[in-house]
Amino acid sequence: MSFNALYTDLSGYYDLMCADIDYQTQSAGAHRLHQFFGNTGNTHLDLACGTGPHIQHFIAAGYQCSGLDLNQPMLDLAQQRCPEAQFTQQNMCDFTLVEPVDLITCFLYSLHYSANTQGLTSCIQQVVAALNPGGVFCFNAVDKNKIDNNAMVRHSASHQQSDFVFESGWFYAGQGDQQSLKLSITKTDAGIAQQWQDSHPMVAVSFDELRALLEPSFEVMIFEHDYEKIVPWDLQSGNALFVCIKH
């Protein structure tokens, strides 16, 4: 099945799949970066917001928040979680806002869902149009040239008498602008196992290529992938935080 069909089918388990993610620390880190480098505004948009856990923390920090995602069941859950926020079903490569915002975030490497360089370029163009002057675009990314195809992240969880095992990992063939996120989900209930497997199409980009796409419209800073500290990227790490200030 397609990756969107998979997420639609398992939207009720999405938070369980991401149970090991520290949403509060990630949100606080992006908020801190906006305070240091952005304007003084408090309007926020989260791209590929999923079920809205990051937005929940931005609201608590005093932001007026909105979110967009392709997946309507995810957005329904997000609206339940964050009734104060505005959510719309839109593609982050082709979205519009009624009013520009001061901070746009994109967590969990979701910028790579742009699929290819053309989609990524379009996404960046939409972000530029959606930001106020001095606004910040904050996201994390992975460098295609530093991907270990054999590295997998695995965790397990239990929910309503069912056991889950989640596995994910990046794969890059070594050329071109396509990589994939391989995902495996196993649900065991009363001894009966169900498994979903998929390979999500993602855009493959190096950090140099990404910087080149961003610099015409942004001052670009790259930091180590650590939401608790502000540390310049060491030029070696394969994943990093990008903080982009609109000219």
Measure the CA–CA gap between 1 and 73, rounded to whole angstroms: 17
Q: Any idea which residue has 């695995």 for tokens?
A: 154
User: What are the pLDDT tens digits along the chain (247 aa)?
Assistant: 445 555 555 556 676 777 789 999 999 999 999 999 999 999 999 999 999 999 999 999 999 999 999 999 999 999 999 999 999 999 999 999 999 999 999 999 999 999 999 999 999 999 999 999 999 999 999 999 999 999 999 988 888 888 989 999 999 999 999 999 998 889 898 999 988 888 889 999 999 999 999 999 999 999 999 999 999 999 999 999 999 999 9
Name the H helices within the chain. Answer: 3-9, 14-17, 23-37, 53-60, 72-81, 117-130, 207-214
pLDDT of residue 35: 97
Place of tokens 């959606």: 130
Q: Which domains does the chain have, with CATH numbers?
A: 3-144+204-246 (3.40.50.150), 145-202 (2.20.25)
- The answer to whether 154 touches 183, Cβ cutoff 8 Å, is no
The runs of H, that is alpha helices, within 70-227 are: 72-81, 117-130, 207-214
Q: State the Cα–Cα distance between residues 68 and 123, nearest whole angstrom.
A: 13
